Amino acid sequence: MRNYPTVEDHTGRTIGAEEIEAATRVLRSGHLTRVGGTEAAALEREFATLIGAEHAVASSSGSAAVHLAVAAVDPEPGDEIIVPPLTDFGTVLGVLAANAVPVFADVDPLTGCLTAKSVAACLTDRTRAVIVVHLFGCPADIDGIRQVCDPRDVPVIEDCAQAYLTRPAGGGYAGTRSLIGCFSLQQSKHITAGEGGLTVTDDERLARRMRLLADKGWPRDTGERNHLLLGLNYRMPELSAAVARAQLAKLAGSVERRREVAAALTDQLRDLPGLLLPPDQGHSYFLYPIVLDTAVTGFEHREYVGRLAGSGAPVGAGYLSRPLYRTTVLTERRTYGTSGFPLISPPARQNHDYAAVSCPVAEDLIERSLVIALINERFDDEDTAALAQVLAEAYKR
């Protein structure tokens, strides 16, 4: 069995002397908190410059970053936020934390991302925003979705936790093509500080609001000890920010190497009928997804992945065990005690019965056809060739 590099430890992470020096610098200073520190502020400036945004706001996690973005657009209790059902629960957590209602739109059968058509079908007079996830690093159709949303003054938020340096059609980086972009520094991402989040925007008012939301509503920029709105403590510690700054210098190389690994896999697998490989335009390959056309292959994802048992190949079936609308917190409305708030009417426009929701494309991907390979920037040519070989051999068997 081959041992492939994994993002769970040093074998799949680009952590070295630079990060050690950064952490040591903060520890020697004796100042570890964001308040009065310099590292988090520097990270914000450097990331905004890199990504091409006017403002960046650091926070404690990617989930916190999404919550800040949703709270920044200030939904009323019961307002609706359109989300995909095929994503990490952190995308939905920020909606619920802002007392808004997640509404699930179906996804593209190849990319797993929201589409303009599926978003349009879910818009109502209570829609307050749309969160577009660039799943696995694949660019979603931001332009098409904005053409649906902009005439109705519905803001679009980009969840780029898996999409550093992803390039949507039309230019620029993911996260800069809408009102707010959200990023994660969690262990498995393109770069990591263990945990951490970043939001970007060109709107100075929204940037200040997100800073307040991340710091208990405290307007430190005015020197006033007051609390202007309901904010939490989502401050990023100086240690995390220093490590993230060191990682930021390695981001371009990380993404480029992932693209090289993905290109080699695609080259080796492209002639296998029924394997639908990821479109490479603008992709940053947080994972390498394969969609099975089961009518052609004659097998589904669990059988295929089962054939890889014992090989060590870092491959899984479905990505999620169920679409997010089938998670217990939603089907049983486990929010505030037994109230079901805000998922009931009032404040919602109707009682939301998530057990009755169906997104057929997302369900097919999760239950039958989506296969994911957990690649990372530490794969060398031998790792890549070995993974391609076992994927091809399992297909032929």
The pLDDT of residue 397: 87
Torsions phi, psi for 355 (to 5 deg)? -65, -20
The pLDDT of residue 200: 98
> Among 168, 184, 176, which Cα is nearest to 200's?
176
Beta bridge partners of 373: 288, 315
- Which of 215, 250, 285 is the C-terminal boundary of a domain? 250
Distance (Å, whole) CA 258 – CA 164: 11
pLDDT at 55 over 90: yes
From residue 44, give the alpha-carbon distance in Å to each of 18, 37, 237, 264, 382.
Answer: 19, 12, 13, 34, 37
In-domain check, residue 147? yes
Q: What is the CATH number of the domain that holds 31?
A: 3.40.640.10
Q: Are residues 194 and 314 in the same domain?
A: no
Higher pLDDT, 397 or 50: 50
The pLDDT of residue 293: 98
> Among 141, 154, 181, 224, which Cα is nearest to 56's?
181
Q: Report the pLDDT averaged over residues 204-231.
A: 96
In-domain check, residue 207? yes
In-domain check, residue 331? no
Q: Are residues 90 and 62 in the same domain?
A: yes
* Portion of the chain with pLDDT greater than 90, in percent: 98
- Which of 250, 265, 299 is the C-terminal boundary of a domain? 250
> Among 229, 219, 227, which Cα is nearest to 98's?
229
pLDDT at 208 over 90: yes
And the tokens for 144? 């098409």
Supply the mean pLDDT for the chain. Answer: 97
Q: Are residues 231 and 294 in the same domain?
A: no
Q: Are residues 226 and 273 in the same domain?
A: no
Q: What is the number of structural domains in the chain?
A: 2
Q: What is the pLDDT of residues 184-198, one digit of tens each?
A: 999 999 999 999 999
And the tokens for 289? 């997804």
- Which of 250, 268, 299 is the C-terminal boundary of a domain? 250
Do the Cβ atoms of 377 and 257 come closer than 8 Å?
Answer: yes
pLDDT at 386 over 90: yes
Torsions phi, psi for 99 (to 5 deg)? 60, 30
Q: Are residues 242 and 256 in the same domain?
A: no
Complete edge-to-edge strand list for the sheet that includes strand 275-276: 275-276, 288-292, 370-373, 315-317
The pLDDT of residue 147: 98
The pLDDT of residue 158: 98
In-domain check, residue 349? no
Do the Cβ atoms of 274 and 368 come closer than 8 Å?
Answer: no
Q: Are residues 161 and 271 in the same domain?
A: no
Single-letter code of the amino acid located at 316: G
Residue located via tokens 């089962």 = 306
In-domain check, residue 169? yes
Residue located via tokens 């997640």 = 102
pLDDT at 130 over 90: yes
The pLDDT of residue 117: 98
Helix and strand tally (H, E) in the chain?
14, 11
Q: What is the pLDDT of residues 233-282, one digit of tens each?
A: 999 999 999 999 999 999 999 999 999 999 999 999 999 999 999 998 99
Distance (Å, whole) CA 283 – CA 103: 26
Distance (Å, whole) CA 273 – CA 391: 13
Do the Cβ atoms of 366 and 318 come closer than 8 Å?
Answer: yes
Q: Are residues 288 and 299 in the same domain?
A: yes
What domain range includes position 314? 252-320+361-396
In-domain check, residue 355? no
pLDDT at 56 over 90: yes
* Number of residues assigned to the chain: 397
In-domain check, residue 341? no
The pLDDT of residue 262: 98
DSSP 333: T
Q: Are residues 37 and 63 in the same domain?
A: yes
Q: What is the pLDDT of residues 59-118, one digit of tens each?
A: 999 999 999 999 999 999 999 999 999 999 999 999 999 999 999 999 999 999 999 999
In-domain check, residue 22? yes
pLDDT at 124 over 90: yes
Single-letter code of the amino acid located at 120: A
Distance (Å, whole) CA 283 – CA 166: 5
The pLDDT of residue 71: 98
Which of the four pLDDT bands, split at 50, 70 and 90, describes residue 312?
very high
Q: What is the pLDDT of residues 235-244, one digit of tens each?
A: 999 999 999 9
The pLDDT of residue 63: 98
Q: Report the pLDDT averaged over residues 140-163.
A: 98
Q: Are residues 162 and 35 in the same domain?
A: yes
Q: Report the pLDDT averaged over residues 331-344.
A: 97
The pLDDT of residue 319: 98
Q: Are residues 22 and 145 in the same domain?
A: yes
And the tokens for 249? 């210098």
Q: What is the CATH number of the domain that holds 285?
A: 3.90.1150.10
Q: Are residues 102 and 114 in the same domain?
A: yes
Q: Compute the CA torsion angle 199, 373, 188, 163 (nearest 10 deg).
A: -10
Q: Are residues 367 and 243 in the same domain?
A: no
The pLDDT of residue 382: 98
* Portion of the chain with pLDDT greater than 70, in percent: 100
